[in-house]
Structures are given as C-alpha cells and as structure tokens.
Chains A and B, each alone.
Chain A
Amino acid sequence: MIAVAAFYILSAIAIAAAFMVVVARNPVHSVLFLILTFFTASGLFVLLGAEFLAMLLIVVYVGAVAVLFLFVVMMLDIDFAELKAGFFTYLPFGGLIALILFGQFAMVGGAWIEKSVTASAIAAPSPAAAAVSNAEAIGRILYTDYIFLFQAAGIILFIAMVGAIALTLRHRDGIRRQNVSAQVGRTRAAGVEMKDPKPGEGVVF
C-alpha cells in the first residue's frame, strides 16, 4: 500500500516537473526541474527493485551531467524576451516530435499489457532475479554477453573526450606557468639567505 502511494506521488511529481522543464521561463529553473525529474525517476527505479540503476542515475545524471548543464546555463547571458518569442514558431515541430514519442510509448505500453506478445519477446532473467543482487545481475550480463558493446561505448566516449580536448587545447607563447617540480623541490638554502646587518650600514643584496 505504501509502495502504491509512493508510486503515485513520485509519478505525479515526475510528470509535473517534466512539464515545468518545458514551461519554466527561466532556463536555470528548467534545469532545476529537470534534476527533480531525474531524481523522482530514480525513486521509481527503487520502487521497481532496481536500486543499482537508481543510484547510477543519480550519480551520473544528477551528480555529473546536470551539474555541467547548470554551469553552462548559468554562464549564459540570457535574454528572456527573445527566448519567449520563438515559442509559437517552434510549437508545431515540437508538438510533432512529442506526438511521435507518445505514439511509440503507447505502442510499447500496449504490447506490455498484451502479454501474449511480450511473453515470447522477453528473455527469462538468468539467474533468477531474486537470487543475485542488482549490481551483480547487471555485471554478469554487461561483462559477459555485451562486453564488446560495452567496450565500444567506452571507446566512443574516450574519443569524444580526446576530441573535445584537442579542439580546445592551445599552447600560447608568453604565458607564465606554474612549474610544480621546481616549487616542490625548493630548499631552505635556495629560498632563505641570512643577513647580519651592522648598525648604520644596512644590507646590500
């Protein structure tokens, strides 16, 4: 009963937040609502018994990706009037995409309800879902059957990262940089010189 109540509360918040992502005037508010949507989605994962996925969703999307979103959006110089102006020109196109997405979800949901279709399409979990913990179950699949796809995904991300660095990295001349080994390797003898000034003479460097 508590699980059902939690499901409805979380779903209601998720849908409302997702709606606010689109409607909110201020882009920063949009991102914050997006984060709320991620958060409630991970709550729904917990209700499904997929606590590992839920935590990954928070660590990866909320903890890392959304932070970058927020950084970018906060740094932007935003003209609110201009943002609002484009709304109706983009509405038909956005509406079309939303409609297609909704259709697809409806098809998947319909197939799910029509058990005869899904029964043959869904493979039985191996080993039984209750026998192993979530993390172990995902690990067994990911690092055996799908190891090449998994590695390929990693390589693609790596290439993207190298590309981003290669595009933005430039070595400019005439810039003073920190030489860490010189800083750390500095000794007392090199840094301090003891002078013994005589009265009335001062010190000559």
Chain B
Amino acid sequence: MQDLVRDWGPLWGVLGGTGQILAIMVMLLLTLAFILLFDRKVWAAVMMRKGPNVVGPFGLLQSFADFLKFVVKEIVIPAGANKTVFILAPLITITLAFVAYAVVPFAPGWVISDMNVGILYLLAMSSLGVYGIIMGGWASNSKYPFLGSLRSAAQMVSYEVSIGFVLITVLLVVGSLNLTDIVDHQKAGIWDWHAFSFIGALVHPQEGAGIVGTVYAFVVGLVMFMMLGIFFVSALAETNRPPFDLPEAESELVAGYQVEYSSTPYLLFMIGEYLAIVLMCAMISILFLGGWNAPWGPIDNPWVGFLILYIKIWLVFFMFAMVKAIVPRYRYDQLMRIGWKIFLPTTLVAVAVVGGHVAYFGR
C-alpha cells in the first residue's frame, strides 16, 4: 500500500489501497462461506450423514441461507447487560480477525502491508482476540458467559506462549520477521519447506559443515517437523476448535461467552472465529508448508502462487475439520497440562536447539 501512495499520489494511492483491502475481504468472506460448508460436510461424512444438502446444488448455498437467517433475526440485548461493551465485543472480534490478514502474503507481491515485523504483528493481533471474548462474557452480566469467557481467556493466553516459541524457531531458521522472507526461504522445493527441511538437510548439505553439521541440520529439520505438530495443536486450542472447544462446550457451559448473543452479533463472533481459523491455516501453510511455493520450486506468476497457497489452506483446514470430527473433547486440566507442562518446555528446548545450529553453523 505504501508503494501505491508513492506511485499514484495520496488520493488515488489511498483509494487503490482501500480497493485492495476490500478485494481481500470479499475473497475471505466468500472463502469462509464455503469453508463453513466444507467443515460441516466433512463432519457429516465422518459420521456417515449427508450434511447440508437442501439449499442449492449439494447444499452449496447453505452458508448464504444461514447468513440471511442470522441477519433478519431480532437482536436481543439482555436488560442487565452493559450495552456498549456488549455490542463492542463482537465488533472487536471480527475487526481483529480481519486486520490480521493485512500482513499475509497471498502470492508473490500480493500483500497489503509487507512490514518488517509481520510475524510479530500476527502474534499481536491473535493475542488481542481474547478481548472480544472477555468483553462479551463480562458485558452479558450473567454467570455462564462469564465463566465461559474466563476459561476461554485462560486457554488462549496459555497457548499463545507455545505459539510464540514456535514462531521464534521459524524466525531463527529464516533470520527475518518478514513473512515474505519466510516464504522465499522455502522456495527451492518441497524438501526446503520448513516442515520437511530434514530431507533438505540430507539432499543438499551445507557446504563446509562436515558430518557434524549435516547431522545437526538433520536434527533441526526433525525439530521443525515437530514444531509443525505443536503449532497445529496450539492453533486448535488458540482458535477454540474441537477437541479444545471448552469455552463453548455445549454439554457443559451451554455456549460459553456467546450464551446471550443472538442474530447479527452472534454472526460476527462466528465469522471472527472462522476467520481466525483460516488465518491459522494460512500461517501453517506460510510458516511450514512453503506458502505460495510449489513442491517443485518457486512460482513467479502471482495467480498460480495464490492458487497454490489457497489449495494448501484448504488442505490444512481439512485437517482441522477431521480433528473436529474424530477427536473427543479434552478435560480442562488435561488442556492446561499439555499447554504448560508439555508444549512450553518442548518448544523452549527446540528454540535452544535451533538457536545453537544458527550460532555455530550459520543459516
């Protein structure tokens, strides 16, 4: 967007930038409509049901029908609620979910803000997501939402720590906080994607590293593969997806912080949640699975690159949907134990291992 302002002058630059933002928002919302349907279809298929199949061919328009239903319903605000905060909470959730996409590089050169600290920006925006939940739970002025929001906030804060450490291992390997640099670092081929860099360590060993260096690089590659797993599970917990959907566990907490929400405010919460999930899918694709790079090498054409990243996002989301369908819900103490007693120490050791490799053998 900076370039637009420089090339086109302030007025047209700002308008052009706004156009880009709108295009990405529309693309995201359309994607979301079908990814919601896909989620339900996968869930149904695992349970040998048909899933939504009435609205449109194969139920393709189901999400749009749901959208209309949400929008035309009456907005109910509880009498004892703190009205401003009650309305503000879903707005904050959806705004934060959208602004996080500002730094996501969708294709070569296709990024709204190619900032130096993109990865930190993503971390910051996802850590802000907790406010929508706390505010919503508190403003409802009711016990179930409040308890639900507290559980949810504790969960999100816990898993941010391990997500932060996983991000640190990635940025140690790459040597940059810029997401475009991170994607470029994986451009040689599938064995150079961070998830599979243990293959790369053997396919083209670092020059002058010797046998020790090659073995160390292999170990770092394995550590990065493990980080992919930890990031995936942490992403599930961070976005309150099953099996970590304790904040909205139907059988225990009614619907967590969303109990008092109806109609459009609820819709905003739900869109924000799914946007965060798609963002996590995009982050997994970008950080570990090569972003817009094809398995055989770099891509120059932005349209092809975008298509590749898009397919990767859908594949990662398929994993999210399968986990939802297959894995039973965790108990709250198990959730906290995994976050603090397993993921945190493991990622801490991983940062030390990767850091050691960078310090002694370079990148």
CB atoms of A59 and B337 under 8 A apart: no
Instruction: List the B side residues contacting A29 at CB < 8 Å.
Output: 85
CB atoms of B153 and A67 under 8 A apart: yes
Instruction: List the A side residues contacting B164 at CB < 8 Å.
Output: 59
Q: How far is the CB of A201 from chain B (nearest CB, A)?
A: 35
Of the listed stretches B18-26, B120-128, B256-264, B277-285, chain A binds B120-128
CB atoms of B120 and A59 under 8 A apart: yes
Q: How far is the CB of B19 from chain A (nearest CB, A)?
A: 16
Instruction: List the A side residues contacting B333 at CB < 8 Å.
Output: 178
CB atoms of B177 and A63 under 8 A apart: no
CB-nearest residue of chain A to B150: A71
Q: How far is the CB of B188 from chain A (nearest CB, A)?
A: 24
Residue of B127, B134, B160, B334 near A70 (CB, 8 A) is B134
CB atoms of A63 and B124 under 8 A apart: yes
| A-B pairs under 8 A by CB, number | 67
User: CA–CA, A35 to B92, complex, Å?
Assistant: 13
CB atoms of B127 and A63 under 8 A apart: yes
**Count of chain B residues with a beta carbon within 8 Å of a chain A beta carbon:** 30
Instruction: List the B side residues contacting A7 at CB < 8 Å.
Output: none
Residue of A26, A58, A180 near B127 (CB, 8 A) is A58
Instruction: Determine if B14 is an interface residue (Cβ-Cβ < 8 Å).
Output: yes
Instruction: Determine if A64 is an interface residue (Cβ-Cβ < 8 Å).
Output: yes
CB-nearest residue of chain B to A180: B337
CB atoms of B157 and A1 under 8 A apart: no
Within 120-160 of B, Cβ neighbours of A (below 8 Å) are at 120-121, 123-124, 127-128, 130-131, 134-135, 138, 146, 150, 153, 157, 160
| Interface residues of A, dominant DSSP | helix
Within 22-53 of A, Cβ neighbours of B (below 8 Å) are at 26, 28-29, 32, 35, 51-52
User: CA–CA, A32 to B136, complex, Å?
Assistant: 13
**Count of chain A residues with a beta carbon within 8 Å of a chain B beta carbon:** 25
Residue of A32, A52, A55, A63 near B85 (CB, 8 A) is A32
CB atoms of A62 and B117 under 8 A apart: no
Instruction: Determine if B109 is an interface residue (Cβ-Cβ < 8 Å).
Output: no
CB atoms of A51 and B115 under 8 A apart: yes
Instruction: List the A side residues contacting B85 at CB < 8 Å.
Output: 28-29, 32
Residue of A51, A55, A63, A74 near B130 (CB, 8 A) is A63
- A60-74 Cβ-contact flags toward B at 8 Å (1 or 0): 001110010011001
User: CA–CA, A33 to B124, complex, Å?
Assistant: 18
CB-nearest residue of chain A to B146: A74
User: CA–CA, A96 to B85, complex, Å?
Assistant: 33
CB atoms of B120 and A56 under 8 A apart: yes
CB atoms of A51 and B337 under 8 A apart: no
CB atoms of A67 and B134 under 8 A apart: yes
Q: How far is the CB of B133 from chain A (nearest CB, A)?
A: 10
Instruction: List the B side residues contacting A35 at CB < 8 Å.
Output: 131
CB atoms of A55 and B134 under 8 A apart: no
CB-nearest residue of chain B to A58: B124
CB-nearest residue of chain B to A28: B138
Instruction: List the B side residues contacting A135 at CB < 8 Å.
Output: 116-117, 177
CB atoms of B116 and A51 under 8 A apart: yes
Find the residue from A35, A59, A62, A71 having the highest chain B CB count within 10 A: A59
Instruction: Determine if A2 is an interface residue (Cβ-Cβ < 8 Å).
Output: yes
A to B CB contacts below 8 Å, 5 in the list: A26-B82, A63-B130, A70-B134, A74-B138, A135-B117
Footprint of B on A, CB under 8 Å? 1-2, 26, 28-29, 32, 35, 51-52, 55-56, 58-59, 62-64, 67, 70-71, 74, 133-135, 178, 180
